[in-house]
Structure 1
Amino acid sequence: MNPRAKLTTAQAAMYVGMSKRQLERMRCDGTGPTWFKAGDAVNSPCMYELADLDLWVRTRKGKVR
């Protein structure tokens, strides 16, 4: 898969093995993976790049949750 591929919150949550709600909470807390808004509108979706998700997962290996 292209490392620059963009995933929605639901897709990203499935990719990293957590719930969508948990990923949303981490986004609000600033503890989750890097994300961006797909547009300027208030209802624009939050998106994640696959490479950022992979990096985030690698940095969390071995950490206790």
Structure 2
Amino acid sequence: MKDKEINETIALPKQPKVGYHIGASVLTEKGNISVTLEYNCHLQKQYQSHQGFVKLKVKL
């Protein structure tokens, strides 16, 4: 049996050259309670991503 060679070409979409990451966070504390709010945004030409969270801490 002869050796066979397999060639495969994969075409990937062109990636955007410019993207932006924007974020903000706020931390507030009062007594034994602290609250953190955070928001992140990622922007590219045809793509948007949003993420946020709230973190509550109570010190016992």
| Structure with greater proportional helix content | 1
TM-score, structure 2 length as denominator?
Answer: 0.22
Give the TM-score normalised by structure 1: 0.21
Larger radius of gyration: 2
More relative contact order, 1 or 2 (CA 8 Å, 6+ apart): 1
